[in-house]
């Protein structure tokens, strides 16, 4: 699937969830913004990963080629984790007397969850792949986390890029 379509699906689902919670709590715009943060902007951890490796020298081509992942052989993806879902739900429950708090954390929780499910379906990764505890146990190491076939694809791609 082309990356633009993948991103469009994330965006559309994020907006939909945001709209749903926005309507339910009578703050449609806030709902949309939160849905987009939780369900779309969580992919900014790819950018974070880039800066962790390259420092502040941004090169758009390198970024699009995902060189940061290829060169470190690491898959950290700090915002991609099932673990946030129960934590956000718990915070929503603790803040349940304040409608806005409840709305903020419920929207973030479900927008993020749907994003991860979408990634699992589209990318074909296993469920544990999106657990940060699981990735940490495997030292965030790409050869440990990816299937041999997927990792081989990385190696082929690196060769193609000459890096
Ligand atoms: Zn993602």
Give distance in angstroms: CA of 97 to centre of ligand 1: 31
Q: For residue 28, how far is its CA from the centre of ligand 1 (angstroms)?
A: 24
- This prediction's pTM: 0.92
What are the tens digits of pLDDT across the range 15-51? 999 999 999 999 999 999 999 999 999 999 999 999 9
Let me know: does 90 contact 83? Beta carbons within 8 Å. no
Q: How far is the CA of 103 from the centre of ligand 1 (A)?
A: 22
Tell me the CA–centroid distance for residue 130 and ligand 1, in Å.
10
Residue 1 pLDDT level (bands cut at 50, 70, 90): confident
Separation of 113 CA from ligand 1 center, angstroms? 10
From ligand 1's centre to the CA of 42, what distance in Å? 7
* pLDDT bucket at 161, cuts 50 / 70 / 90: very high
The pLDDT mean for the chain works out to 95
* Confidence band of 9 (pLDDT split at 50, 70, 90): very high
Taking residue 106's Cβ as centre, other Cβ atoms within 10 Å add up to 25
Pairs from 128-137 (Cβ < 8 Å, separation ≥ 24): 130/80, 130/81, 130/82, 131/81, 131/82, 131/83, 132/77, 132/78, 132/80, 132/81, 132/83, 133/81, 133/83, 135/75, 135/76, 135/77
In this prediction, residue 3 carries a pLDDT of 87
Q: 118 CA to middle of ligand 1, Å?
A: 8
Q: How far is the CA of 90 from the centre of ligand 1 (A)?
A: 23
């Amino acid at each position: 699937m082309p990356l633009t379509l993948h991103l469009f699906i994330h965006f559309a689902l994020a907006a939909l969830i945001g709209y749903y919670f926005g309507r339910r709590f009578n703050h449609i715009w806030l709902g949309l913004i939160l849905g987009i943060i939780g369900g779309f902007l969580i992919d900014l951890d790819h950018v974070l990963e880039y800066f962790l490796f390259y420092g502040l020298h941004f090169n758009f081509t390198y970024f699009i080629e995902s060189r940061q992942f290829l060169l470190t052989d690491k898959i950290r993806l700090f915002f991609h984790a099932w673990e946030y879902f129960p934590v956000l739900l718990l915070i929503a429950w603790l803040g349940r007397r304040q409608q806005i708090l409840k709305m903020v954390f419920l929207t973030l929780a479900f927008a993020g969850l749907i994003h991860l499910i979408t990634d699992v379906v589209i990318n074909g990764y296993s469920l544990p792949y999106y657990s940060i505890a699981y990735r940490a146990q495997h030292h965030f190491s790409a050869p440990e986390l990816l299937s041999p076939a997927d990792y081989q694809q990385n190696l082929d791609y690196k060769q193609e890029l000459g890096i």
